[in-house]
Structure 1
Amino acid sequence: MPTAHEAMIYVMVITSASDRDMTDEELARIGQVVRSWPVFVDFPEDRLVAVAKDCQQLLHDGRSLDGILELARKAIPARLHDTAYALAVEVASVDLEMRMEEVRVMQRLRQALEIDDTTAHAIELASKARHRMLT
């Protein structure tokens, strides 16, 4: 069973890997999030790569997306489910568009974490606002 921190990283990794192409921008954003978001304040940053590889290994070993989402749901305290969803949105928003695969993963994540539509929409709008550029 992963720790809450590890499970939140799993959420970001599966979001990034949803289109089978983890871009450098997405990987950089995961690192930036782990370094800067308060929820990771007591997570040893040097463990990030190992945890991401653990998640990838679970996928390669036949653990389904639903299986990883179930692990995440159990490991992440309910009060942080919206935070975990926000982490996923942050990674998905890097390229300013969501591909169909990412949309599907986000829908399944919302279901697994029991994120209501209003909360999901608010998180998604906030992320879009944060990533807009002037030009």
Structure 2
Amino acid sequence: MNAQALHPMSPQDCLVALMVAVSASDEDIRTAELVKIQNSVNMLPVFANYDIDRTKVVSEVVFDLFEQEDGLDALFGLIREELPKRLYETAYALACDVAAADGTIAETELRLLGEIRYELDIDRLHAAAIERGARARHMV
């Protein structure tokens, strides 16, 4: 399956894709991260009418893209095309929550979060607040 098979992606697909990308970025998808993704899709208002079965399809697209040389650029292209700007900070917040879910943030996850900040043009001060909130929610 390729990205074209899923095109056009819904805004919710884009949010799921970013969460899956963060989880997969360190090549170790942890249970805590998967639970965070599932809980987000099940509980947040932005996913109210979302078909949870799409998460598997979206995940496969992300994994396929990650196997390609320019896959991350392709993913960001899809996201910028299909995700409304009003959901950019939501996307970053969800990505931060997934990164923080297992209690540690790998260097690869930090780099991807930086890319997301850049690609979605998240204001540095807003990003810091979002990151601090994620850290606070996942303290043990």
Question: Letter of the aligned partner of 1:113 in structure 2?
Answer: L
- Offset, 1:126: 0.9
**Separation in 2, partners of 1:118, 1:57:** 33
Question: Letter of the aligned partner of 1:79 in structure 2?
Answer: R
| Aligned-partner SS, 2:87 | helix
Q: Is the 8 A contact 2:15 2:94 kept in 1?
A: yes
User: After superposition, where does 1:90-105 map in structure 2 within 5 Å?
Assistant: 90-105=97-112
After superposition, the C-alpha distances for 1:47-88 in whole angstroms (9 at most, x for unaligned) are 222221222122235442122112112211001100000010
Counterpart check, 1:21 vs 2:28: yes
- The alignment covers a number of residue pairs equal to 133
User: After superposition, where does 1:1-135 map in structure 2 within 5 Å?
Assistant: 1-133=8-140
Relative to structure 1, is the Cα distance of residues 114 and 60 closer, same or farther in structure 2, using a 3 angstrom cutoff?
A: same
Please list every run of 5 or more consecutive structure 1 residues that lacks an aligned counterpart in the other structure.
Answer: none
Q: Is the 8 A contact 1:2 1:75 kept in 2?
A: yes
Structure 1 residue ranges, 4+ long, deviating more than 4 angstroms after superposition: none
**Separation in 2, partners of 1:87, 1:127:** 9
Larger CA deviation: 88-97 vs 66-75: 66-75
**Separation in 2, partners of 1:53, 1:9:** 11
Question: Letter of the aligned partner of 1:126 in structure 2?
Answer: G
